[in-house]
């Protein structure tokens, strides 16, 4: 039975205005709306579309995080995923550790394809997919804007600085998704109710034989500078004079 493994992350909802903690140690997450990382939601949508085209028979969604991450996994199940796996861990982990955890789940599930977002909107590292492919020793295609599967070959169009690049990968492989790949479906209430009965398995890092190691430390988090109020000018002459006064010319 062929399956697609989708890796998702629980993050602060992209509509929420981020606030930095007074001591600068991170961002405030207490009583803040959380959601699926938007790029991971695109990855899940693509997996579901591939299943609907008969490429796979099962979509398994996996995540690492606190027990509350079950809420995001239930949302993924409501979108159409068949099963969910949660590796419970109360604290944030780094990309390499995440890749090692996902490798253990890959070995457990033996998927035809692993899809995840190109990056998470909380740390913007954009490393987990590439590290997973390296550890798994399988091909990878990052920043995918189009995915086609034909037998054991994946044809992926990806966005690069110069435009578009098309790759052919032998499956199994890892694909990370870009913003323009698709638009995730809207979750309807009946599907949310059905998702409550779908299987969600909980694991731990210890059960997988993984230790959460730290490679770097965050010394301080600061909010972006407040934008200055703009100045209205009547014509080009006044614009040039204003710029000279500001020292920009």
CA 117 to chain centre: 4
Q: What is the pLDDT along the chain (249 residues), one digit of tens a residue?
A: 589 999 999 998 888 888 888 888 788 888 888 899 999 999 999 999 999 999 999 999 999 999 999 999 999 999 999 999 999 998 888 899 999 999 999 999 999 999 999 999 888 888 999 999 999 999 999 999 999 999 899 999 998 888 899 999 999 999 999 999 999 999 888 888 989 899 999 999 988 988 887 777 888 888 888 887 877 888 898 888 888 887 776
Question: What is the predicted pLDDT for the residue at 201?
Answer: 93
Q: Which domain holds residue 78?
A: 3-246
Residues 42 and 49: their CA atoms lie apart, in Å, by 11
How many domains, the chain?
1
Indicate the length of the chain as a whole number: 249
State pTM to two decimals: 0.85
Q: Closest by alpha carbon to 117, among 24, 205, 12, 8? A: 8
**Count of other CB atoms within 10 angstroms of residue 11:** 21
Question: What is the predicted pLDDT for the residue at 59?
Answer: 96
CATH of the domain at 58: 3.40.50.620
Name the pairing type of β-strands 200-204 and 83-88: parallel
Question: What is the predicted pLDDT for the residue at 224?
Answer: 81
Residues 179 and 74: their CA atoms lie apart, in Å, by 23
Residues 117 and 111: their CA atoms lie apart, in Å, by 17
Question: What is the predicted pLDDT for the residue at 249?
Answer: 65
Residue 69 is given by DSSP the state: G
């Amino acid at each position: 039975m062929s399956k697609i493994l989708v890796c998702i992350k629980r993050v602060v909802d992209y509509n929420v205005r981020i606030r930095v903690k007074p001591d600068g140690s991170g961002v405030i997450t207490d009583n803040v709306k959380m959601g699926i990382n938007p790029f991971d939601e695109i990855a899940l949508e693509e997996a579901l579309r591939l299943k609907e085209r008969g490429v796979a028979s099962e979509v398994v969604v996996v995540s690492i995080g606190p027990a509350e991450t079950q809420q995001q996994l239930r949302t993924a199940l409501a979108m159409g995923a068949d099963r969910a796996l949660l590796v419970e861990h109360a604290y944030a982990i780094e990309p390499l550790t995440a890749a090692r955890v996902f490798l253990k789940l890959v070995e457990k599930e033996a998927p035809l394809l692993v899809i995840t977002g190109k990056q998470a909107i909380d740390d913007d590292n954009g490393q987990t997919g590439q590290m997973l492919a390296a550890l798994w020793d399988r091909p990878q295609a990052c920043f995918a804007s189009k995915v086609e599967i034909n037998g054991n070959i994946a044809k992926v169009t990806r966005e690069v600085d110069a435009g578009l690049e098309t790759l052919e990968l032998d499956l199994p492989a890892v694909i990370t998704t870009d913003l323009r790949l698709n638009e995730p479906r809207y979750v309807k209430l009946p599907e949310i109710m059905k998702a409550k009965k779908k299987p969600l398995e909980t694991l731990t890092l210890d059960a997988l034989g993984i230790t959460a190691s730290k490679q770097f430390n965050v010394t301080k988090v600061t909010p972006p500078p407040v934008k200055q109020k703009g100045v209205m000018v009547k014509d080009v002459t006044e614009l040039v004079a204003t710029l000279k006064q500001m020292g920009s010319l």
